[in-house]
Structure 1
Amino acid sequence: MTLFINWLQFVLSSGAAGPTPLFLWMALGVNLFVWTAIGAVRLGDDGVRALLARRALPERWSAHTIGSETERTPGDARVLVRQQTVAAGGGGGTGSRAVTATGGGGTADGPSAATASAPGAPTRADQISLAVVIPAHNEEPVIDGAIKSALRLFNRWDIYVVSDSSKDATADIAAETGVNVLELLTNRGKAGALEAVIQEFDLTENYDGVVILDADTELDEKYVEGARKQLSDPSVAAVAGFVVAEWKPKERTVVGRLISAYRDRLYWMLQYLLRFGQTWRYTSVAFIVPGFASVYRSSVLKHLEINPKGLVIEDFNMTFEVHHRRLGRISMNPNTKAYCQDPFTIRDYVKQVRRWTLGFWQTVRRHGVWPSMFWFSLFFYILEVVFVALMLLVMVGLALFTLLPALTGGAVLSLGFYAAGYAAVSAVLPLTAIAVGMFVPDYVLTCVMATIRRRPSYLVYGLFFLPMRVVDAYLTLRTIPQAWTANSDGRWSSPTRASGSL
């Protein structure tokens, strides 16, 4: 608070009172304030509903047989492990196939998903059956940790790993754990891998919901309980996982710790201050169900086009599909936490952010605009994101413009046009006002985050968060035209990974 007050006094006393609201907007944003206020209302509403909700949900449970006796595995895929007994002589696919009936992970003789609740009916949370899908491509360092994390919460036969033409031991490691494993012999990308494993194992026919995890995701112990509780509301189409950035400083370089700390702040703000309000039952305008840990109701998943052509990632598209087709609402609560592994290098970070932003603009292009509260909210979000990104880059450009005379010993001021421009800019936005005006509001957020997380080291890494935001801003604007020109096929680009549990 002292830092913020001193910053405000400095900006006002420097004669730059005009841009002060702009600096605040660039640091926080109007959308953040609006959705934080709505989130506060939701918090009260949820509290009242929790006090009043004492009625037991009716039990409605109908039996379905798990698994198909007919072999449908295409020629470019093979099932390494299938947690069921297959009739002798059954087949029809040309790919090789090994069937292993393993126990583990539970005491029943068959898949726990032998039943599925009636579509659209309110269901007791503990009766909701969930399949876990883990698509992976060259994820040898982390796949074992992801499977072990899932095994803490799910039966072995409810976990399905699809290795998308991995060149390493991803498929073999997964097979050794005894979970269901499908190996694709041609690279289809994450969306294609999801589509293949869902079809191969009839997941939408045999489970109430499908959990989609990245190969570096590890679930909190309360994740399943939270997801089932949210899915027990028949109006919920999908549950967005609550992402938490891993924090293992001893296993990361300085750059890796910087990225992890920056992402931790970003995730906290986006989820608590933006997405919490956007996923209120009266709003439901969240534009992303993060693919790292998401749950889709099976009856909804059947109607989604998971793998359309031309998209680099799938999660934005799947979320837009839910809204566009009016299949239900998106739900999110902090009780569905999951931990993700952020990039270790600036190169991988830039590649990942570029994929995310490109995927967002490609999805906007694909679906277009339709009359809805979703698009009303999305329009103002896009407007602000583009404006703030543009202003960040403009401010950086102005800072460099006013810094150049000092770096050249005033030589550039001999140029008439430069001298006139320098005088005009310095009169309104001197270099100190730009530097302090941009940096301090951003750093105040870091101070808040360091206090919440009780991680003093964030105060050091936070000195470099503003340059990270500038990189994000550049990629946000750079990928807009690429969404109409880039030829994307959704294939994987594996980053550097680190093994071990979170």
Structure 2
Amino acid sequence: MRIVRFVGGLLIGLIALALAAALFVFWLDFATDMAAAAGLGPVGYVFLWLAFGANLLLWTAVGLLRLGDDSVRAVLRRGAAADERRAVRSRERVLVGAGGPSGDAGTEGDHAPEAGDGPRDATIAVVIPAHNEEPVIHGAIGSALGLFPRWDIYVVSDSSKDSTAEIAAKTGVNVLELLTNRGKAGAIEAVIEEFALTENYDGVLILDADTELDKGYVDGVRRQLRDPKVAAVAGFVVSEWKPRERTFVGRMISAYRDRLYFMLQYFMRFGQTWRGTNASFIVPGFASVYRSEALREIEVNPEGLVIEDFNMTFEVQHKRLGRISMRPDTKAYSQDPFTFSDYRKQVGRWTLGFWQTVRRHGIWPSTFWVFLGLYILEVVVVSVILLLTTVVAVFVLIGTVAGEAFVSVPLVGTSFTAVTAFLPLTALAMGLLIPDYMLTCVMAAIRRRPSYLVYGLLFFPIRVVDAFITLRMIPRAWTARSDGRWASPDRVSKK
């Protein structure tokens, strides 16, 4: 049965990759013909590649440089470790030959370093802030208990009205129950102060109640914290894929998020967190670790912010507290919204939190802000173009379907003729849909999930909603005041 699943998955991956390659060749041929017909020349080819995102291409190139740098460093470390082991064995042979393992001449060997010696592993406290998380809190605690002693786990129930605190208490972990709703940032601040976590531990892991840690998470974090310049380790988010527990809409949201997370982390944040750049503007609040030395300098809960993770990351960058590190060996599995209404609300909170953080910290001279500025510029420009182009595409589609009845309307018919002369419906479809669907095909091949090819047909409308929310939240960040209180989506038990 395993062989059948393996072969089936391999065939699905090959078919999806073949489809992606065919679409790319078709899109490139069509787009280059359009660019040549318009007389754009070399500039046209630049715009073609920008269909995939300037920041994505930039950070993918940087990520490849990091991959080469990491590979070279790994080879050098292995070589140094092998030389050290040979030196230790050589000293042991000399000492044994001189006076034997129990003789006086062997005393010096008692202090010789062993091959497995290294820096002390960081001690880590696990903080799980929760508000009415009864369906999922047991799963988060259970995953933490598989990696940490129960006395290193701290659940803070932020004025929950359900059994969140009781369920946590039964597991034997530390529980702090707040009577006043302070929001996630306020709850984190309270539990750190109550148990003096930054004084008693080397690092603090902030774990969302709907998140479960991969078995290799702790080892990955500790490896990264061995670099004293690392102030925070960003968790590597993976969308939880449990299709039987979801409706069609829920599966579509989870598939879309899986593609988005994969692209952002491998093609952007991997490059942004290279030691030579350190340009990451988000340490995701779902499962990330802050070094205590840096956390003591961070204002976790300033007034007026709807979420905390963007602000905490900007604090690290603005105060120059150290480097942000991210590698795929710190995976954690997060539960995505089950309904489109919850999805829209969550994206609204995240986007508002980003713009509020930009407003709070302002601009300061740094390479971080150069890269952040480029990102903001592209996000705003692409969102505007995407919405305008979508409106034009809908207009052209209606005119094409309605035919003469639509064209005969005064002004409308003239506008339709002018628009279609420059942007026919096929060009709009090729420009808007094909590049997006190519990425979905690649993701279907990577995950070996043929259903992504179906859900991917509906990803574009979600992107349009994301673009609308991005622009809508910009003025709200300067006009609306937020208290950071919880707005948790519907949860499904992970038992």
Contact 1:220–1:336 (Cα < 8 Å) also in 2: yes
Q: CA deviation at 1:417?
A: 2.4
Separation in structure 1 between the aligned mates of residue 265 and residue 215 of structure 2, nearest angstrom: 20
Please, which of 371, 374, 388 is the counterpart of residue 368 of structure 2?
374
CA-based RMSD of the aligned residues comes to: 1.7
1:3 aligns with: 23
Separation in structure 2 between the aligned mates of residue 277 and residue 10 of structure 1, nearest angstrom: 31
1:40 aligns with: 64
Contact 2:31–2:48 (Cα < 8 Å) also in 1: no
Residue 260 (1) aligns with residue 254 (2):
yes
Contact 2:130–2:184 (Cα < 8 Å) also in 1: yes
1:189 aligns with: 183
Separation in structure 1 between the aligned mates of residue 67 and residue 121 of structure 2, nearest angstrom: 27
Separation in structure 1 between the aligned mates of residue 446 and residue 402 of structure 2, nearest angstrom: 43
Separation in structure 2 between the aligned mates of residue 291 and residue 479 of structure 1, nearest angstrom: 20
Separation in structure 2 between the aligned mates of residue 341 and residue 152 of structure 1, nearest angstrom: 19
Residue 289 (1) aligns with residue 283 (2):
yes
Q: CA deviation at 1:5?
A: 1.1
Separation in structure 1 between the aligned mates of residue 388 and residue 325 of structure 2, nearest angstrom: 37
1:33-432 equivalences under 5 Å are 33-53=57-77, 124=118, 127-432=121-426
Separation in structure 2 between the aligned mates of residue 256 and residue 391 of structure 1, nearest angstrom: 28
Please, which of 420, 438, 443 is the counterpart of residue 432 of structure 2?
438
Q: CA deviation at 1:456?
A: 1.0
TM-score (norm 2): 0.85
Contact 2:281–2:313 (Cα < 8 Å) also in 1: yes
Write out per-residue CA displacement over residues 6-64 of structure 1, whole angstroms, 9 at most, x where no aligned residue: 223334556578677656524x10111111111111011111111222568xxxxxxxx
* 3-state secondary structure, aligned to 1:433: helix
Contact 2:208–2:285 (Cα < 8 Å) also in 1: yes
Please, which of 50, 55, 59 is the counterpart of residue 31 of structure 1?
55
Contact 1:357–1:475 (Cα < 8 Å) also in 2: yes
* Amino acid corresponding to residue 372 of structure 1 in structure 2: S
1:491-502 equivalences under 5 Å are 491-500=485-494
Separation in structure 1 between the aligned mates of residue 449 and residue 422 of structure 2, nearest angstrom: 38
* 3-state secondary structure, aligned to 2:411: helix
Alignment: residue pair count: 434
Contact 1:23–1:438 (Cα < 8 Å) also in 2: no
More helix by share: 2
Separation in structure 2 between the aligned mates of residue 303 and residue 171 of structure 1, nearest angstrom: 29
Write out per-residue CA displacement over residues 94-114 of structure 1, whole angstroms, 9 at most, x where no aligned residue: xxxxxxxxxxxxxxxxxxxxx
Runs of 4+ in 1 over 6 A off after TM superposition: none
Contact 1:311–1:488 (Cα < 8 Å) also in 2: yes
* 3-state secondary structure, aligned to 1:53: helix
Separation in structure 2 between the aligned mates of residue 202 and residue 183 of structure 1, nearest angstrom: 16
Separation in structure 2 between the aligned mates of residue 282 and residue 407 of structure 1, nearest angstrom: 53
Residue 472 (1) aligns with residue 466 (2):
yes
Q: CA deviation at 1:500?
A: 1.6
Write out per-residue CA displacement over residues 178-214 of structure 1, whole angstroms, 9 at most, x where no aligned residue: 0000000110000000000000000000000000000
* Amino acid corresponding to residue 289 of structure 2 in structure 1: V
Contact 1:126–1:228 (Cα < 8 Å) also in 2: no
Separation in structure 2 between the aligned mates of residue 152 and residue 17 of structure 1, nearest angstrom: 62
* 3-state secondary structure, aligned to 2:276: coil
* Amino acid corresponding to residue 494 of structure 1 in structure 2: S
> Kindly, what percent of the aligned residue pairs are identical?
68
Contact 1:390–1:473 (Cα < 8 Å) also in 2: yes
Write out per-residue CA displacement over residues 322-365 of structure 1, whole angstroms, 9 at most, x where no aligned residue: 00001001000001000000000000000000001100000000
Separation in structure 2 between the aligned mates of residue 124 and residue 217 of structure 1, nearest angstrom: 31
1:111 aligns with: none
**Structure 2 segments unaligned to the other structure (5+ residues):** 1-20, 82-116
Contact 1:245–1:263 (Cα < 8 Å) also in 2: yes
* 3-state secondary structure, aligned to 2:415: helix
Residues 284 and 12 of structure 1: is their aligned pair in 2 closer, same or farther, counting only changes over 3 Å?
Answer: closer
* 3-state secondary structure, aligned to 1:369: coil
Separation in structure 2 between the aligned mates of residue 445 and residue 403 of structure 1, nearest angstrom: 24
* Amino acid corresponding to residue 4 of structure 1 in structure 2: F
* Amino acid corresponding to residue 49 of structure 1 in structure 2: R
Q: CA deviation at 1:419?
A: 2.3
Separation in structure 2 between the aligned mates of residue 3 and residue 265 of structure 1, nearest angstrom: 18
* 3-state secondary structure, aligned to 1:296: strand
Q: CA deviation at 1:408?
A: 4.1
Contact 1:16–1:428 (Cα < 8 Å) also in 2: no
Q: CA deviation at 1:318?
A: 0.2
* Amino acid corresponding to residue 28 of structure 2 in structure 1: L
Q: Which of structures 1 and 2 has the larger relative contact order (alpha carbons within 8 angstroms, sep 6+)? A: 2
